[in-house]
């Protein structure tokens, strides 16, 4: 088995269960424990999982999707409306997982566009819209956050190209680094960035500054920020060349 294939399998197993031991992984993949330890150390260095004693894990979701959806609803609604206005007919739109992205999807209903997503919540918003070509990426289902993750999701994104993507975040550091709190989602967010010509960050003002355990990208990778309030961190994005829209 190729190293890349084995490590992708490790990520899938850890994403599905939240954690896995060295011995469990070695047995299931038919390799030595020392090989698994090297793989886990490498994946930890790349920020794809968290190395713990005896194995690897991903950060558990602090709150399920349904609970997050009830927070900052007014701000998220305004952000979604302004963000959706950036889409023009004919666009190929890549939508991240998350509650704000689902609200953006709701406002794209009736448009003549293509939507690519790993979000089951976005699927629920657009499944009956015959005018939208909807592409649902494959992967391992994370039920708590209505999303698909893993190498299948990444591989599918590598074969597609969007004109614009909408990215969520758990928080943005003071230096403009976009963060996420769930290791299983970070590779998907990075793949979304690579797949799209234009990147829009959608984040309410509580995310500036915010927290996260893994870096997704620096401010320079973001073309547009749509948020609900002014904050000094936004000047970092402006300096990096991003357009900032206050909703």
Name the more confident of 2 and 174: 174
What is the distance between the alpha carbons of residues 126 and 185, in angstroms, rounded to a whole number? 22
DSSP string, 64-103: -HHHHTTSSHHHHHHHHHHHHTT--TT-EEEE-SSHHHHH
pLDDT digit string (tens) for 28-69? Answer: 899 998 898 888 888 776 656 667 666 555 444 455 656 665
Least confident window among 37-41, 107-111, 179-183, 206-210: 179-183
Show the tokens assigned to 215: 């870096």
By the 10 Å C-beta count (0-12 exposed, 13-18 middle, 19+ buried), 14 is classed as: buried
Cα-only R_g, the chain: 18
| Average of per-residue pLDDT across 14-18 | 64
In this structure, are residues 201 and 160 in contact, taking their beta carbons and an 8 Å threshold? no
Higher pLDDT, 157 or 3: 157
Structural domains in the chain, sorted by start:
3-57 (1.10.10.10), 65-246 (3.40.50.1360)
Could you tell me the pLDDT band of residue 213, with boundaries at 50, 70 and 90? confident
Decide if 154 contacts 188 (C-beta within 8 A).
yes
3-state helix, strand, coil in the chain (%, to 5): 40, 20, 35
Q: Where are the alpha helices (DSSP H) in the chain?
A: 3-17, 22-29, 33-45, 65-68, 73-84, 99-107, 120-126, 151-158, 186-195, 233-239
The Cα 239–Cα 220 span in angstroms is 9
Q: pLDDT by residue (tens digit) across 153-196?
A: 999 999 999 999 999 998 999 999 999 877 778 889 999 999 99
């Amino acid at each position: 088995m190729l190293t890349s294939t084995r490590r992708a399998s490790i990520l899938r197993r850890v994403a599905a269960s939240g954690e896995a031991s060295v011995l469990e992984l070695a047995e299931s993949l038919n390799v030595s424990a020392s090989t698994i330890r090297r793989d886990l150390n490498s994946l930890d260095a790349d920020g794809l999982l968290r190395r713990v004693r005896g194995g690897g894990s991903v950060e558990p979701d602090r709150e399920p999707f349904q609970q997050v959806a009830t927070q900052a609803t007014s701000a998220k609604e305004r952000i979604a409306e302004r963000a959706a206005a950036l889409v023009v007919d004919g666009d190929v739109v890549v939508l991240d997982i998350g509650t704000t992205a689902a609200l953006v999807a709701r406002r794209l209903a009736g448009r003549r566009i293509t939507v690519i997503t790993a979000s089951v919540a976005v699927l629920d918003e657009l499944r009956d819209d015959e005018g939208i070509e909807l592409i649902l990426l494959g992967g391992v289902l994370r039920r708590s956050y209505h999303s698909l993750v893993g190498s299948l999701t990444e591989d599918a994104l590598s074969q597609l190209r969007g004109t614009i993507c909408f990215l969520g975040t758990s928080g943005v550091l003071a230096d403009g680094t976009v963060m996420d709190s769930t290791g299983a989602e970070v590779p998907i967010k990075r793949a979304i960035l690579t797949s799209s010509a234009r990147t829009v960050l959608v984040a309410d003002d509580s995310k500036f500054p915010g927290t996260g355990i893994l870096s997704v990208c620096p401010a320079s990778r973001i073309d547009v920020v749509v948020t609900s309030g002014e904050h000094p961190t936004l000047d970092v994005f402006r300096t990096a060349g991003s357009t900032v829209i206050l909703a």
